[in-house]
Chain A
Amino acid sequence: MSTATEAASGEIHDADEAHDDHDHGLSDFGYIKVALLLGVLTAAEVLLYFVDTGPIEVPGLLILMVVKFWIVVAYFMHLRFDSKLFTWMFVGGMVLALAVYAAMGTSMLFWTDPAGCDLSPNLNC
């Protein structure tokens, strides 16, 4: 019994430590380093805009955008250190938004009258 109790208290202790880990995230210096990285990535974005890089410009900008987005969400919003449920709530909303609007965009591409602007001839834009 005592062994079971010790094991149990050990698990609770581990759980407390894990909970602490959830709350802490990075140190202040760690956050400053992350912010510096974000600043560098923003500078890279602006550089890509001004320097003619041909076909890599748009993919490059999109990749930098996704990386910056992920860094803020993971470190500043603590999602990397927090419960997975929060991740699912947020990612669920994003995926739903992307799916719905991708579907809408695609349908508008298919249904748009090239001479006009929409499905209805009576609807001005």
Chain B
Amino acid sequence: MSLVHRLQNFISACKNEVEYLGVKIVTEKTTQISVRNELSEGLSTQIDSGIRIEVMMNQHIGYASTSDTSDDGLQRAFKYAKAQTKFLSQHKAYPFSGAIRSTTQGVYRSQIQKPLDSLSLGEIQNVLRECTQKMNQAPAIFFRSASASIVETEETKLDSRGSEWSQYFSIVNLDLIVRAQDKNDIQTRSHNLCLQIGAEVFLRSLLFPLTEQITREVLELIHAPVCAKEVCDIIVSPDQMALQIHETVGHPLEIDRILGDERNYAGWSFVRMEDFGHLKYGTSKMNITFEPERFSELGSYSFDDSGLKGEKHYLIKDGLLVRGLGSLESSQRSQAAPVANFRSSSWNRPPTDRMANLNLESGTKPLKDIIASVENGIWMSTNRSWSIDDYRRKFQFGCEYGLRIQDGQIQGVVKNPNYHGVSVSFWNKLAEISNEAGVYGAYYCGKGEPNQLIRVGHASPYCLFKDIEVF
């Protein structure tokens, strides 16, 4: 009997013992291939699998997870879930109604051109090896690396209300890194691709131009002057904007953070519930959307762990904060409209409020026109250092690669560029956004107790911010 059939039988037999019974099974295969200086730097496969049972008792939800998928393991997990949830319901934080779970059926699959297993491990190693070979352009370059994590995830959720949905994810996180030394200075240039994608990502025609660009740029960096300290304009590339959106918009808008669940770990939020509909988060050019159904981005899916269907919503519209990142559970607690963001890293962790794809909408200006409008500024690309406070106000970000712009012209490369600011005042300095966007993401977004890493996507245009402290 298949595991899904056994789980259906289990739910039929046990559903009357609790107010709600849900079971999620997850199997994730991750293959990591790494090449450094044309030699293998490691090859691994991980197959992680298990089940998570969720029960509602006395209006409190509790979980038990196990890698033991036998009938014995399932019954033991159910026993733990029932006993602990019933016992702890006397101290529950909130009495939930049944509406925190949605009855759903359906299937989601990542849209890909070629299945990930259509290339052998040896073939992928060869493509990555050729990338490191391409980086070997000068004696100053001593570290050349290409690596990929290839992820295939299957998850199925069933529950006592007749829900049955499955999602199949095909993910690649690919890093190209080149490092060069001049005297005592070492500079790094890198490119990261993290997408829901198939084996088509390993096309040489895609990877070689990226490799050539970062190789050229690292050689520029080792002879470049250090970025000067000043207040000036900055143009931020989409790969750095991904982090800017993630840290200064995504996390502070998570409703479970605003409600205080996260205070002992990642922190609280400067945003209060009464700010929704009122706070001018940024200039009128700022439009941020929650878009879990967007094709190819890392955080795409059809259903969150509560069964809510993923739909696009504006979080910030024309600069005004209009909606938060709150699941059905957070919606009951806060009386705010929900989004489908109740996500868990895997079968062994409970779902919480997370980002999915959080995107900044593009504008109408070509990048060259934006550059031409800058009198004095720095164009920053690719994050290398990030830090923000526990309320998500004061941030400091460092980038790998900077370009000095004066009188509308690019004047040369600068190294070690950093900028800092305060979230809302920074977004209120957003002066222009380009008509072209890049798609990036965060392969590892950490949050929660117990700790969880989750994958989220960010699409963004190039952005111009005025009067920023750069150093």
Q: Do A and B bind each other?
A: no
